Every structure is written in structure tokens, then in C-alpha cells.
Amino acid sequence: MAKRKKPVTENKEEMNPNTHILGAGLVLRQNITETLETNYMPYAMSVILSRAIPEIDGFKPSHRKLLYTMYKMGLLNGARTKSANIVGQTMKLNPHGDAAIYDTMVRLSRGYEALLHPFVDSKGNFGKAYSRDMQWAAPRYTEAKLAPVCAELFADIDKDTVDFVPNYDNTTKEPTLLPVRFPSVLVNANTGIAVGMASSICSFNLAEVCNTAEALIKDPDADIFDTLKAPDFSGGGLLIYDRAAIESIYETGRGSFKVRAKYSFDKSNRCIDITEIPPTTTAEAVIDRIIEKFKSGSVREINDIRDETDKSGLKITIDLKKGTDPDKLMQKLYRMTPLEDSFSCNFNVLIAGVPRVLGVRELMDEWIAFRTESVRRRVWFDLNKAREKLHLLEGLQRILLDIDKAIKIIRGTREEAEVVPNLMIGFGIDEVQANYVAEIKLRHLNREYILKRTDEIEKLRKDIADMEDVLAHKSKIKKIIVGELREVADKYGQPRKTEIVFATDVAQDSEVETEPDYPVNIFFSKEGYFKKITPQALRTSGEQKFKEGDSLLIEKETMNSAELLFFTDKCQVYKAKASDFDLGKASQLGDFVASKLGMEDDETAIYMAVTKDYSGYMLFFFKNGKVAKVSLSSYETKTNRKKLIKAYSDKSEIAAIRQIDGDCELVIESTAGRLLLINTGVISAKTTKDTQGVAVMTLKKGHTVRLVRDYVNGEFVKPYRYKTKNLPAAGATLSAEDAGEQMSLI
């Protein structure tokens, strides 16, 4: 028998995970998944939990560490101190560079003007939120202290209302949250970008937020719109109120709304003064865009534009040419510049260490639960202190019965260590009470002093009973919270700065910016990529290029002025024009529609409809066999809205979407292999976009609608086999002769 040879390893590197490379030394091999888990994931979690996302008290860790340091420095009631001193002290809690800490303080300051209710009372140059180029002074030149509203952040923090943890080097302790007496998470704007997620919380009026919290405490089903009108920004402006958009933000914590600049017209100097701009832009960005439009010839009505911002506040002045209508010019500038901009909301908050996107009601409920626990812990702390004091005074009261006896016991005791035991025996009190009596000064061993102290006993007993009653009834804790909310609203509430104007009342620019109109071919892929190519370029181009795994979904010949409706997997539709997209080539991937139109993080376009006059219908085929026929005119809006919610029903998963100009014949196929041939004329049209539709195909358990396609004339030998007089119907399986016919067509 031949001796068996040892197997030869073709690749020795596979046997040895580590390799020696000349000049590089030992190279360690590691799986990419292991590298991500050990290196990247801890970093990502640290950014999410410890840096970018705010918690229910409304603060990120950097904010909380800075404000708590200032509180411990006595800057709530004391005089201002140098910012450099504050930054240095904060480094005991925040192990970051001084520049990062100072940046945080600047953004919380009154001078920067980014917050409705600033937490830092500043003195000196702290820059401006509305200016890109105005830099703040170095920390050695500026001074700061805590603003009065911070008293509501730290109230009773020393009464065990929140948990404390050791700082990074275990030399001191810091609070995990601040026991805020009002929902500060909604009062001041807060944004942050983490890894794989972000947070963007708009600010609301303090009085409105407190009133809303009070209403929800009294009635969890209260209508939020009765008390919380709309967001409010420190820079003012005009908020274009769209009830549907605001309702979406209140319900889901996601969405956007538009904010316009506020202006006035100076007739004597024939100039427009812009004094308030949207919070998402700066004065320099606005001026740069207007100059750009002037140079391109889009805006010709302007003689000059200049920044006249001074100590009194923001001011952009535009000098007009003779005969220019200021209102019409501003409508044009709203459309073409950041003087009108969208604020995108993403109410992502850390709740018990878990990032969650919450609507206003859910966010309020979480704050109420947090504040309820803080008040309960405060009452419990005060109750224990009162019980301890009562216990001591009850021991002192017994001394009142015979002061001479107490003195005699102390004088008659030879050893100091025996004084307390002898007092315990002599008066029947415990060690704590005896220690308290033994520590009383000789001058206080008189009847008057003891009577004054023991007068507190009845009051303490009443207070203890009241506190025990509060702890036993949650409704009384909520009553305390309501009282605090009213106090905060009365003390710090201020009128709205951002004016609300309804979308229907907003004047629209009658002059539509003229875009060149010409024939184009548009392409939309299954993965959500869009391409626009001229017919001439298409004739000379090669094969269409797509991302790996992607393929063409829709191809249309239309005009550059055509309107496009992109339906998404979140039951929303985004509106655009073909002219909004740049011309491309067949060899390019095209524009990713979700990014181009600013869709939500996990939202994707799944269908594109093309129209010029909103005639025809949209058909929505659901996996449960229902079909919704919606008039395309239902998606037409008078205002320039770019996004519509509830574009189709979310009651069942979507199987297919079709745009039809008139009634036609379609084939519906189920996962069971059954085919149903229908004419869309039998389905009645609805004007309600999110209608659930009508049942068209009956399905067996476990089966769904798989696909929908156009019926090709002559495709079936016996078309009536797949038709039915009544709907819904199950359809029929493909016959042998039709299967052969389809094979021949292929």
C-alpha cells in the first residue's frame, strides 16, 4: 500500500493569519466585521450616547457639564467671571479641548442669539448666530455667568432628584440629567449629527410649551394644537403655517416647514430693510445669493445691497431701481434665495440610553414621567429629613420634663464615653437623640430654648403627613408639577418672536422663473436613480448604465417643463420638475432622487409619475388584493408645496403603482400563479389620496399580489378565461396554450 502524502496547501497565507512582510514587519490579518465591532462600533455608540443626541432634559452631555460647572462655581447668583476660568473648570468634567468647551458656551449665550431662552448671561463679543463671518472673541476677553432661567434647571438638584455618577477620573461627581422644571427639550433649538443618525429639534415658545405640558397632565388626550401653535425662533421671521406639515411633525417627530424673512419698505430712501431671516441661513449667505442672481441677470431690480448690521441687530438693506414694486421683488427673492428656507425636524432624543424619534405628545409624556420621578424623589428626600429632625426634637422634648436631671446625669458621669449611654437610660431615648442632646451648648439648656425648638414638632408632623399623602397619590405630584409649570411660564414667558402666516394667505410670485423648454427622455430606476437626456444625446449614446443590481423601471418622453411626482415607500410623494434636474448621459448613474429632494433618512422613491396638466389617474395595487384608483388632480396644489403626506394608503403593503392617462387593461398576478385580466374602467376613482381602495383579487391564505403589467393584445389565446364579470375574483392559472403562446413571443 502506497504511503499517503501530506496535503499541499495552495495558499500558505490561509493557514497563517499573520504574515511577515519585508520592510513592514508583522502584518496581522483581521476580518472586516471584527474590525468594525471592536473599533468602529464603540466609537459610533460613544458619539450617539455621549456627544450628539440630547436627552429628555434637553441637553447634550457637553451642555450639561458646562452648566453644572458654572452652577458649582456659584455663577447663578454671583458676579460674572472670565470665560477662560469657566472653560478651565469645566475640563474637570469634560475631557475635551478648551476650544470645544468655549464653542459650547458661546452657543448657549445671550450674546450669540441662537436660543429663545439663553442659559449663559454673557458680556463681550460672543458673535451672532445670523452671521457667518462675525467671530467671537477669545475666552480671556469675555465674561459670563448663568442666566436667571437656570434656576429652573438646578432647582432641588441637591435633594436626590437625579442620579450622580463619577466624572472621567473619579475625582468628583456629576449629574446624569438636570431636574428641569419645564420641558426645555422643546424650548430651545438643538441639533446634532451622530453616526448613522442625527437630531434636529426646533424651538417652541416657553409659555406655549408649559401650557401644553399642563394640558397633557390634566388630559392625556388633549389637542396639542390648542396650546402649541407652531415653532418659535429667536431670530423671528415668518413661519408659513401648513396644518398638515405641522401635524406630521407633532405626530411623528419628522417633517419640515418653511420660514420667511421679515422686511419693511422705506419709501423715502426707496430701499427694503430685512431685519429677520430664517434660522437656517446667515446674512452673508443671503447677500451672496442675491449678488449671484443679480450677476446672472435673474434679478435686475436692485441698485445696491449692503449689510448694515450693528449693535441694534440684523439689517440687510436693498436699494431699488425706480419703478420697482418691493413686494413683487421680495416674492421673487423668497423663491430664489435663502430668504425663504425650510427647517427640517428630526426629534431624535435619548430615552433611557436609547435613541428614539418621538412626536411632541410622546416627548411630553416622557418629560412628564421624568419630572414626576424627580418630584417624587425630592418629596421623599424632604420626608426623610423631616423625619430625622422630628426624631431629634422628640428626644429634646423629653429633656424638657427634667432639665436638672439631664445636667445631673452629665455631671455625674466620670467618663465622656458614658454620657450618651447614661442619657439613653435616664430618659428612655435612643443613641441618635442622646447624641443630639449631649451636643447642645450649656447656654441652650434653658426652658425658653427648648420650648422654641419643640414648637416645631406639630408643624413637622403635619408636614410629614402631607408629604406621605403626596407620595401616596400620583395626582398630587402632578398638581405640584402643574404649579411649577405655571410659575415658570409667568416668570419667564415672553411673546412669540416668529409670526405665523397661513400658507393660503401668503402671496405667491406671479412671475414664474422661465426655464428653457425642450423635449427630453427621462429614466427612473428601481433603486431610485433619475436621468434626464436629450433625444439628440440619446441617439448617439450607448447602453444605459445602472448601479450593480439596479435596472430600469420607467422611461418616458416628455418636456423639460413637465412635473414629476416621486412616490416613496413611506406613503409620501415629493414633487419636482424635470427642469430641476441637470442633463445627463446614458453612461452616468444619474441623480439619487432621495438625496436630491431631501427625503428622510430611511426613505426611498419607488415610482415616478410624469404630468403636464394633472389629468389621468394613479393606480395603487396592494398586496392584499385591493386596488385604489386616485385622480391625479388630487395631487395638484395651489401653493408651491414640494411634499405631500398620506399620498396613498398605509393599511397594506404596496405591490405596484401605475400611472394611466385613460382606462386600459392590466394583468394582475398573485404569488399562487393566478392571473386576473381587468379593465381599469371597472374601478371607481376616488379623490381621497389615502383611500384603501376596493377588493379586486381574492387571495388564498399566505398569498399576495406579486406583480402588475400591461396586457399585450393577443397575449392570451382565450382572454375571457382570465376575465370575470364580478369583482373581486381569484383569476385563473396560465393555460397550456397560453404558456406556449408566451414562449413563442419570447
Read off the pLDDT band of 94 (50, 70, 90): confident
Longest dimension (CA), the chain: 123
Cα 107-110-112 angle, rounded to 5 deg: 45
Architecture label for domain 373-491 = Orthogonal Bundle (1.10)
Beta bridge partners of 659: 618
Average pLDDT over residues 204-224: 95
CATH dotted code for 262-338: 3.30.1360.40
HSE-CB of 58 using CA atoms within 13 angstroms:
27
CATH dotted code for 618-640+649-746: 2.120.10.90
Domain residue limits, the chain: 59-178, 262-338, 373-491, 515-612, 618-640+649-746
Residues 6+ apart with CB under 8 A from 245: 255, 256, 257, 643, 645
Residue-level pLDDT at 18:
66
Residue type (1 letter), 452: K
Q: Quick one: CA torsion of 50, 485, 119, 184, rounded to 10 degrees? A: 30
DSSP 702: T
Residue-level pLDDT at 24:
67
Q: How far apart are CA 467 and CA 461, in angstroms?
A: 10
Secondary structure (3-state) at 670: strand
Q: Where would I find the beta strands (DSSP E) of 561-642?
A: 563-568, 573-577, 591-592, 605-611, 617-622, 626-631
Average pLDDT, the chain: 89
What is the percentage of the chain residues whose pLDDT exceeds 70?
94
Q: Which is catalytic among the residues 40, 43, 130, 141?
A: 141
Say whether pLDDT at 320 is over 70.
yes
Which of the pair, 214 or 509, is modelled with greater confidence?
214
- Please state the length of the chain: 746
Residue-level pLDDT at 514:
52
Read off the pLDDT band of 11 (50, 70, 90): very low
Q: Over the stretch 585-604, which tens digit does the pLDDT of each residue have?
A: 888 889 999 988 888 888 99
Q: Over the stretch 126-160, which tens digit does the pLDDT of each residue have?
A: 999 999 988 899 999 999 999 999 999 999 999 99
Residue-level pLDDT at 746:
45
Average pLDDT over residues 382-394: 92
Active site residue 141: yes
Say whether pLDDT at 561 is over 80.
yes
Report whether 539 contacts 577 (CB < 8 A): no
Which of the pair, 94 or 217, is modelled with greater confidence?
217
Residue-level pLDDT at 659:
94
**436-445, 487-496, 726-735: segment of lowest average pLDDT:** 436-445
Q: Over the stretch 643-676, which tens digit does the pLDDT of each residue have?
A: 899 999 999 999 999 999 988 999 999 999 899 9
Average pLDDT over residues 67-73: 96
Helices marked H in 78-158 — which ranges?
Answer: 83-90, 98-107, 151-154
Which of the pair, 446 or 183, is modelled with greater confidence?
183
Query: Which of these CATH numbers, 3.30.450.40, 3.40.190.80, 3.40.50.300, 3.90.199.10, describes 59-178?
Result: 3.90.199.10
165-170, Cβ contacts within 8 angstroms, sequence gap of 24 or more:
167/92, 167/93, 168/93, 168/95
Report whether 228 contacts 222 (CB < 8 A): no
